[in-house]
Amino acid sequence: MTRSHASDAPLPEGAFPPTEAMLSEPVPSAQAEAQADRLRAVWATPKGWRYWSAVNNSEVGVWYALTALAFMLCAGVLALLMRVQLAVPGNDFLSADRFNQFFTMHGSAMMFLFAVPMFEAISIILLPALLGARDLPFPRLSAYGYWCFLIGGVFVMGSILFDTAPKSGWFMYPPLATQDEGLGSDIWLLGLSFIEVASIAAAVELIVGVLKCRPPGMRVNLMPLYAWYVLVVGGMILFAFPPLIAGDLLFEMERGFDWPFFDPDRGGDPLLWQHLFWIFGHPEVYIIFLPSIALAAMIVPTAARQPIVGYSWIVLSAVGTGFLSFGLWVHHMFTTGLPALSLGFFSAASEAVVIPTGIQLFAFVATLMVGRVKMILPMLWIAGGLAVFTAGGLTGVMVAIAPFDWQVHDTYFIVPTCITRSLAAWSFRSSRGSITSIPSSPRRPCPSGWGAGPSGCCSPAST
Amino acid sequence: MRRGQRAAVGLLILSGAGGCHGPQSVFSAGGADAIELNRLFAVMLVGAVILWISLNGLFFHGTRRRTGHMSRKLAEAVIIGGGILPMERAALVSWIANAGAIKPEAQMPAFAHLSKTELDRLAGWLEALE
């Protein structure tokens, strides 16, 4: 598209670089107008049916956010139906099979179709604005990721309408899932592979965006904290998702072609799946949480009307959290009978992650104590998010102790630990929805004119 | 709330606590090994509640009660350990040398003119006090 316009333009002539005299010479108004028109035409949103061929971040980001929101609402309805079933003893509202389908789909949809895509959506919308760029470096890659995500998501979520949804739990443990009758588990494995590819595409896009699309003079040690978090989370996605894709392929080969990767009778090992799943699954917790706290890191200094206290501390602890999160996955497997040495190591690493997390939270509190806080609406979300997150996080610290974990494993103690942390991440993210401006974001509107400034860009994202 | 209502709520809570005894209760441990775990849980629970109240209380204090009362330098200390200075030689030395840098409202004058050994001996004397 750009190339055809470039060929219409007159060939450059004269001295290069231009002299002061050349630069001060006024451009004829007709030529300036024509230039502006060409620029607008390049960045214009396609009209009519061609709208869906748009690749600009302001369109793709909004589609991404709205699709993720729609999947979240579906998953929310499933949760409501499950709670109806559990409201009274001996209820026959849902059959056991359907309950398993809803349970599996709620977890899978919230993790794969909402939490990670929503991070990608918000980052795709916000990042160019924060970096003063017109778009991300590979617009077609974002569009590719979105369509991949939509296809995979509809495939997995749609299976519930045909009563063939996956029903072996959102973590698909063998042998339950390998011996599961019907197509459910295959739909999970194949459909989610699409979404994993989409996540990796978005991660590549965002990492390169942070590293290459900064304006002149914005060095990495000066860029907005949000960009730092995006960089860390992008790196985490890049390392966390490939093991899961590999695991999915092995699993599908076992189910489809009877290759015994996870079958202990024929030399396989069911624990292999748990390792592959949780080396993805634990970083996933921080892949969800860090982007949310990143938004808090932008809102807190705005509300406090002071630059953030301890910028480098926050950056270091974000990187530290990202790094540590890859050394904790076994705390999801404390009850599988692993050697005591591994339990001790992973228990200690799980406790250690409190340190960088605590530093980030204390840095926010310190910023608030330095500044003259204006209680803007997003601060209420931050307050709620902090209260919920510290509760969820502290129970997480409790279950990181292996002997205690043995007692509460598979009980309702674990459910709130997981849910409150997700909820906290969500409320930090919602705080973004109601904010008016953040420091260092450009005042000029986004390329396609999605409202006058970043607030207009992101309000659809985090409704 | 009227006195009668208060008494009723109190009784309700007490009767609820009575239900905490039994085979599924976390309060009554079923054996020697369980007592250990029970104690672990109690310690962690109390610690978690204290931490939760302190962090959220600090947030509430900073946003609603007293805003803008802290220097950036002190705020940076808050990042590690909530701003509590450890009771050790180095912290005492820097406190004596310039108290204002750590706590801006402090009335104590700076003793930066003292030599390093003098500061060290002063800190040592302070440490020796009961």
Distance from CA of B116 to the nearest CA of A (A): 29
Is the CB of residue A431 less than 8 Å from the CB of residue A382? yes
Judged by a CB distance cut-off of 8 A, whether residue A390 touches chain B is yes
Closest CA to A293 of A415, A426, A199, A203: A426
Query: What is the rounded average pLDDT for all residues in chain A?
Result: 85
Most confident residue range from A105-119, A399-413, B22-36: A105-119
Nearest CA in chain B to A398: B44
**Whole-angstrom distance, CA of residue A426 vs CA of residue A299:** 15
Residue A145: band (very low, low, confident or very high) from pLDDT cuts 50, 70, 90:
very high
Distance from CA of A13 to the nearest CA of B (A): 55
Across the interface, of B40, B59, B61, the residue whose CB is closest to A386 is B59
Q: Is A43 exposed, middle or buried (0-12, 13-18, 19+ CB in 10 A)?
A: middle
A208: left (phi over 0), alpha (psi -120 to 50) or beta: alpha
B63 HSE (CA, 13 A, CB side): 22
A107: amino acid identity, one letter: G
Nearest CA in chain A to B56: A387
Per DSSP, the residues of A5-71 read: HHHHSPPP-S-SSPPHHHHHSPPPHHHHHHHHHHHHHHHSPPPGGGGGG---HHHHHHHHHHHHHHH
Complex ipTM more than 0.90, yes or no: no
A65: left (phi over 0), alpha (psi -120 to 50) or beta: alpha
Block residue for tokens 């310690």: B43
Contacts of B117 (CB under 8 A, 6+ apart): none
What is the pLDDT, as a whole number, of residue B112? 80
Closest CA to A189 of A144, A159, A162, A146: A159
Return the structure tokens found at A106. 């709620």
Residue B21: band (very low, low, confident or very high) from pLDDT cuts 50, 70, 90:
low
Query: pLDDT tens across A205-219, in order?
Result: 999 999 999 998 899
**Whole-angstrom distance, CA of residue B58 vs CA of residue B52:** 10
Judged by a CB distance cut-off of 8 A, whether residue B30 touches chain A is no
Chain B residues whose beta carbon lies within 8 Å of the beta carbon of residue A316:
none
**Whole-angstrom distance, CA of residue A260 vs CA of residue A265:** 9
What is the pLDDT, as a whole number, of residue A93? 93
What is the pLDDT, as a whole number, of residue B82? 52
CB atoms within 10 A of CB B44: 17
Residue A424: band (very low, low, confident or very high) from pLDDT cuts 50, 70, 90:
confident
pTM score, two decimals? 0.78
CB contact under 8 A, A369 and B51: no
What is the pLDDT, as a whole number, of residue B18? 62
Mean pLDDT of B106-115: 80
Mean pLDDT of A49-70: 92
CB atoms within 10 A of CB B91: 14
Best mutation target, A308, A316, A317, A369, to test chain B (most B CBs within 10 A) = A369
Phi, psi torsion values for A447, nearest 5 degrees: -50, -45
Judged by a CB distance cut-off of 8 A, whether residue B26 touches chain A is no
pLDDT beyond 50 at A455: no
Mean pLDDT of A343-359: 91
pLDDT beyond 90 at B127: no
Query: What is the rounded average pLDDT for all residues in chain B?
Result: 77
Query: pLDDT tens across A289-344, in order?
Result: 898 889 889 989 988 888 898 898 999 999 999 999 998 899 999 989 899 898 99
Task: Check residue A307 and report its DSSP letter.
Answer: P
Dihedral sign (CA A147, A150, A151, A152): positive
Closest CA to A405 of A333, A461, A299: A333
| A27 or B101, higher pLDDT | A27
Query: pLDDT tens across A150-190, in order?
Result: 999 999 999 999 999 999 988 899 888 888 888 989 999 99
What is the pLDDT, as a whole number, of residue A202? 94
Distance from CA of B2 to the nearest CA of A (A): 31
Mean pLDDT of A73-78: 94
Helices vs strands, H then E, count in chain A: 17, 0
Distance from CA of B105 to the nearest CA of A (A): 14
CB atoms within 10 A of CB A437: 11
Judged by a CB distance cut-off of 8 A, whether residue A413 touches chain B is no
pLDDT beyond 50 at A446: no
**Whole-angstrom distance, CA of residue B11 vs CA of residue A460:** 49
Is the CB of residue A130 less than 8 Å from the CB of residue A226? yes
Q: Is A263 exposed, middle or buried (0-12, 13-18, 19+ CB in 10 A)?
A: middle
Is the CB of residue A110 less than 8 Å from the CB of residue A75? yes
pLDDT beyond 80 at B73: no
Judged by a CB distance cut-off of 8 A, whether residue B27 touches chain A is no
Proportion of chain A above pLDDT 90, given as a percent:
48
